[in-house]
Amino acid sequence: MQILRFAILSLHPPVRIGGLEANIGNVTVSLSPDTKEGDKDKSLFVVAKRKLDAIPHKDEAGRVVIPVPERADCEFAIDSIGNLIAAFNACSRSTCSPTPCIALEFENDLESEFLYSSAGIESNVETHQGVRYQIPLKPELVSAVVDRLDGVTLLAEAFACGESGRYKDLARFFELAFGLPFTDIKKILYRFLDPMPYGYTKNEIGEWISKRHPIIHADLLKTKDIATASDVRDYLVRMEQAALDVLFNKSKWRDNSIARRNLWVPPAWTKSKRGDLAAIKGSSGISILLRVYDEFGIYPKNLEATVRRIKSNWYCGNDIQARRMGEAQRNPSILLRAPYRPAV
């Protein structure tokens, strides 16, 4: 039995790449264009295929449990081929998952019977949410941050960057605000934020800090890990919210004091790491950010991207299987999709 992991790779600016098949470790990765001639958005449909070390087991509900090591190998191969294309073509890349994002390829009748007697494939769709709003350029707010325009500069830099760059500039912002290395601010930042209803915990702030060395250093001296955007993207909305509170409401700039001033309160906010939302009654101009991840919490889910061409020996889960086989007969294209835009 083999595992197949599906993904959509988008390139910015667009790069035209034909079909390709490559081996990365024990995973075979195949690429095929996901756009028609003349399409503005150029993206690739990626299939990573690996043989399972053993027949997977089923959970108490009768669902097939995808083995993590083999799935992780496929995801590493997908990320690696995306990195190769980006490095070779000097472009940026983003990866998302279609529906389905995974399949099991059976190779004999016993494997087929095992799969079709199951209750589907175990999955757990994750969502992350936040809020966006416009802060009015009131004279009193502008004058209140004149003594910390270096912090304003770092926030502007953060919002101009991709996810890994945003994390780095937010870390620098907190260092600047408190006059301490980012790795030393967990208790102080927690105490500063604690009076507000945002629900920050020491553990959450500690998670932010834990990625500082892996995402900035690659000499493997302070850490043996190398972090990328996918390792920090879930922290960013909460880090940005904390940074704005620090910018406006910290009494002493470039100082490790936790004294607060009551200058500004956001019209809406997240009140937990899970993204639970709250807002001031009557507030307007608030946008809710919602990012849905795939069934394994790895890639953002493109809710409008569906794999149409399901081979007869691919098992994708009973409900999806029936639906996709019917769609494939009506539409033989590999994928029907809407252009993916990464959340910012």
Token pair of 285 as six digits:
């101009």
Residues of the chain with pLDDT below 50 are 37-38, 321-344
pTM of the model: 0.80
Which domain-ending residue is among 277, 292, 307? 292
The answer on 185 and 81 residing in a single domain is no
For residue 138, tell me if it sits in a domain. yes
Is residue 197 one of the residues assigned to a domain?
yes
Asked whether residue 341 is assigned to any structural domain, the reply reads: no
C-alpha–C-alpha distance, residues 105 and 316, integer Å: 9
Residue with tokens 């252009």: 339
Query: Which residues partner with 292 through β-bridges?
Result: 127
Residues 71 and 199 in one domain: no
Q: Same domain, yes or no, for 311 and 253? A: no
Same domain (yes/no): 200, 54: no
Q: Which residue has the tokens 């086989």?
A: 325
- The answer to whether residues 29 and 41 belong to one domain is yes
d(CA 189, CA 200): 9
Predicted local distance difference test score (pLDDT) of residue 341: 40
CA–CA gap between residue 237 and residue 161 (Å, rounded): 14
Closest CA to 21 of 101, 81, 63: 81
3-state secondary structure of 23: strand
| CA dihedral of residues 67, 228, 343, 170 (deg, nearest 10) | 140
pLDDT of residue 43: 86
> Is 274 a member of any domain?
yes
- What tokens were used for 338? 């809407």
Instruction: For residue 108, give its domain range.
Output: 2-126+295-336
pLDDT at residue 343, as a whole number: 42
Same domain flag for 244 and 155: yes
155 in any annotated domain: yes
**Any domain includes 21:** yes
**At 127, is the secondary structure helix, strand, or coil?**
strand
Residue 343 counted as domain residue: no
Residue 6 CB neighbours (<10 A): 24
Provide the pLDDT for residue 160: 94
The model's pLDDT over 171-199, given as tens digits with 9 standing for 90+, comes to 999 999 999 999 999 999 999 999 999 99
- HSE of 10 in the Cβ direction (CA atoms, 13 Å)? 19
The domain total for the chain is: 2
DSSP secondary structure code for residue 18 in this structure: -
Q: Does one domain contain both 72 and 178?
A: no
Separation of alpha carbons 288 and 277, rounded Å: 9
Residue 320: its pLDDT value, please? 56
pLDDT value of residue 33: 84
- All residues at 6 or more sequence positions from 242 whose CB lies less than 8 Å from its CB, including other chains: 174, 189, 193, 198, 200
Same domain? 64 vs 186: no
Tell me, yes or no, whether 149 and 11 share the same domain. no
Q: How confident is the model at residue 7, as a pLDDT?
A: 97
Between CA 307 and CA 320 the distance in angstroms is 10
Residues 136, 252 within the same domain? yes
**In this structure, are 41 and 78 located in the same domain?**
yes
237 found inside a domain: yes
Task: Say whether both 42 and 118 belong to one domain.
Answer: yes
| pLDDT at 40 (0 to 100) | 53
